[in-house]
Chains A and B, each alone.
Chain A
Amino acid sequence: MSDRERSSGPSAGPPQAGPHPLGGSPGVLAGRGAHSHAANLPYRLPPPLLDLRSKGSWFIAAVLALVIASFWSLDLQWAQFLSLDAMHSMGRFIGEFFPPEVQPDFLQRVAVATWETLAMSALGTTIAAVIGLVLALPASRLQTTDPAWARLPTRWLLNALRSVPELVWASLMLISAGLGPFAGTLALAAHTGGVLGRLFAEAIENAPPGPAAALRTQGVASMPVFLYATLPQVLPQLMSYTLYRWENNIRAAAVLGVVGAGGLGQLLAFHMGLFHMGKTATVLGAMIGLVVLVDALSYAARRWLTR
């Protein structure tokens, strides 16, 4: 009762049961200053779950709205997908995958395509590491007093390179490089170059500054300072990033062929288009095997680096 009396003081209005979200009883009490007799602050209930002031609840509301709007606007054919008919046709479809084609000359073609895909990913990643290192130098601020004029434009360039997915790059490269794995290699190099460039620049900027500062005090130029002080410190990290991207690139390389860039993807798209499901199954098996192999190699190499 006494709470209500106090609340209905200066902020006239109906008595409320808990603290008003915009006022708060303590504020009202403070306003009344010397006249309050409470020995301690009145009990405050926890804030309501969906409070106008909470940024968290706005964010959650936005996420829910986005999700609902996505499902609603896409008009997905769930009924069609989950109907008995669709289940049957899906079952039949999966059945066509077995038995996978194991004829020797087809297996040889798959082996050649696997090698092509592996080469595409490895070479693309290597070239990307070189591009990344070359672009990371202008894109990083080597010391706190470095004006680094080239930093922002180079970062924009790196962002442009990495925003475009590998497949889109491959479609673009096909126009000048023609069909085949060359376009795929260039596409991987371009996209991954952007990714690695940004990662390398961040690693260089976060390297401990002591050795570089000491060399700079001696009047040494920027490039030898980088080579003798910064690079030895960040090199294991750079190599670890590159190996990690190789894991990603093997998956990308496997599917670049779908637009004509050679490798397993091209074989996959070709045979799927002709409904040779047995052959498709073999190619899929090769893809999964290759991905697992490269994952393992990359993991082992990264462990060896940090021994």
Chain B
Amino acid sequence: MKLDLAALSARHPAARSGAAPALRALSLTLAEGEQVAVIGPSGAGKTTLLQVLACALPPSAGTLQVAGRAPWSMTRRALQRLRGGLYLAPQVPPLPPRQRVVTAVLAARLPAMSLLASLRSLFYPHDIPGAYQALARFDLADKLFERVDRLSGGERQRVGLARAVMSPAQLWLVDEPLSALDPNRAAQALTTLVTVARERGITLVATLHQVDMALAHFPRIIGLRDGALAFDLPAAQVTPERLQRLYAQHEHELLGAGGLPEAAPAEGPSPVVMHCR
């Protein structure tokens, strides 16, 4: 899916009206089937960029074109169809704790299923071999029928990536896919992602804190700092000086201490109910 941003500014949904926008006059073009890594210090606006590209956050200025069309001037139905063609993988995998892995992974197919089919799949998963294959790519095939809350943080993150592989999307927006994975597993997961994306011609945009992984696996690197574009270069041209300038005052993130601590799966709300008995 082609992506076009022209002088785009976006505001965080919860920001105060006087605060600086999270993205400032960003201009970017991505061709179909490109794989791009977005790097930068925390607070640079990487997550906001992904949300804007996922048509989840309307821009406050500038234009956005996805697959050649402006998403925010479409009808609601057309926008929903467009959304079905993309997949946003948040940093904390959005998996309901008591659901089984097979159902969680197959939920990625929901945009392509009718209501009746989705209801039936709730009772009996409709594509067990497919889910198995997707999980096997991330070495999780044996966890197919486990409950999500019985998995470790790294395993849950890989299930989130397997969900992306299962989805019918042509645009993958992946936010910090490696934050809970050890270096071996991280390299494996990233290789898998990039390989599958190349096989299927999927446009892949991934934000990463692990700069060395980004340089090793992605042909194009975008650097963001304070909501503005710092550089947009092929990986070979990203020199250590450029990186130093990008991460000025945030050196600890450059040295690999980045990666936010994984969030524990959200507990269910504790009932504070008064009953009449």
Please, which residues of chain A bring their CB within 8 A of the CB of B56? Answer: 217
Question: Interface size bucket, A side?
Answer: 20 to 34
Residue of A199, A217, A247 with highest tally of chain B CB at under 10 A: A217
Q: Given A218-B110, A218-B111, A228-B110: A233 and B96 within 8 A (CB)? A: yes
CA distance A233 to B267 in the complex (A): 9
A224 contacts B110, C-beta separation under 8 Å = yes
Q: Are B118 and A232 in contact (CB under 8 A)?
A: no
State the main secondary structure of chain B at its contact with A: loop
Least distance between A43 CB and chain B CB atoms (Å): 42
User: Closest residue of chain B to A206, judged by CB?
Assistant: B269
Taking the complex as formed, is B204 at the interface, i.e. its CB lies under 8 A from any CB of chain A? no
Within the complex, what minimum Cβ distance (angstroms) separates B153 from chain A? 15
B24-56: CB near A (< 8 Å → 1, else 0) gives 000000000000000000000000000000111
Whether B277 lies near A247 (C-beta < 8 A) is yes
Whether A208 sits at the interface, judged by CB under 8 Å, is yes
Cβ-defined contact, B84 with A248, below 8 A? no
Check A218/B268 contact, CB under 8 A, given A211-B95, A227-B119, A228-B110: no
Q: Interface of chain A, helix or strand or loop or mixed? A: helix
- State in angstroms the CA–CA spacing of A241 and B97 once bound together: 20
Interface residues of B in 97-144 (CB under 8 A from A): 97-99, 103, 107-108, 110-111, 113, 115, 118-119, 122
Task: Give Cα A111–Cα B256 distance, bound, in whole angstroms.
Answer: 73
Q: Which residues in chain A, 45-94, are within 8 Å of chain B measured between CB atoms?
A: none
Does A14 sit at the interface, judged by CB under 8 A?
Answer: no
Please name all residues of chain A whose beta carbon is closer than 8 Å to the beta carbon of B80 when the two chains form the complex.
219, 221
Q: How far is the CA of A248 from the CA of B187 in the complex (A)?
A: 57
> Which of B98, B99, B107 gathers most chain A CB within 10 Å?
B107
Cβ-closest 8 pairs across A and B: A219-B83, A214-B94, A208-B266, A232-B96, A219-B84, A219-B80, A248-B277, A206-B269
Q: Which A residues are within 8 Å of any B CB, using their own CB?
A: 195, 199, 203, 206-208, 210-211, 213-215, 217-221, 223-224, 227-229, 232-237, 240-241, 244-245, 247-248, 251
